[in-house]
Amino acid sequence: MYENEGFSLSKRLCRRIKDNPANPISIPLRANQEWAMDFMSDALDNGRRIRVLNIVDHFNRQCKGIEVDFNLPARRVIEILERAIERKPLKIRTDNGPEFHPNDFNCDEG
């Protein structure tokens, strides 16, 4: 029926999720080996957007920090991390979102 009307059927391509060997996801074997950091956002009833920064230990899923505000600039994120660190993690995993772009973390004194 579809072809009888002169329409062509397009083939759907199967998209495979490719492994990223340059940045494999490892399973931590102890606490403070790897933390995950990410931003979330939501809107209030009046339309104002809020931002939430979550810091979680991957080993035991312990929350190392949650910060909620209307604005979370780079300097504030650094302060939050400094408060959260009881023992420095070996690495911190983030997504590739614009929040963690290196050029945005210009925190020179002065």
pLDDT in tens, 62-101: 998 899 999 988 888 888 888 888 778 888 888 777 777 6
Task: Give 56's pLDDT tier (boundaries 50, 70, 90).
Answer: very high
Residue 59 lies in a domain: yes
* Predicted pLDDT of residue 103: 57
Instruction: Give whole-number Cα distances, 30 to 34, 36, 57, 63, 95, in Å.
Output: 9, 14, 10, 15, 22
* Predicted pLDDT of residue 106: 47
Residue 6 lies in a domain: no
Report the number of distinct structural domains present in the chain: 1
pTM: 0.66
**CA angle (23 as vertex; 62, 36 as ends), nearest 5:** 20
Residue 86 lies in a domain: yes
Residue 3 lies in a domain: no
Sign (positive or negative) of CA dihedral 96, 100, 102, 103:
positive
Residue 103 lies in a domain: no
Q: Does residue 102 carry a pLDDT above 70?
A: no
| CA–centroid distance for 92 within its chain | 10
* Predicted pLDDT of residue 52: 94
Residue 8 lies in a domain: no
Q: Whole-number mean pLDDT of the chain?
A: 80
Structural domain that includes position 81 = 34-96
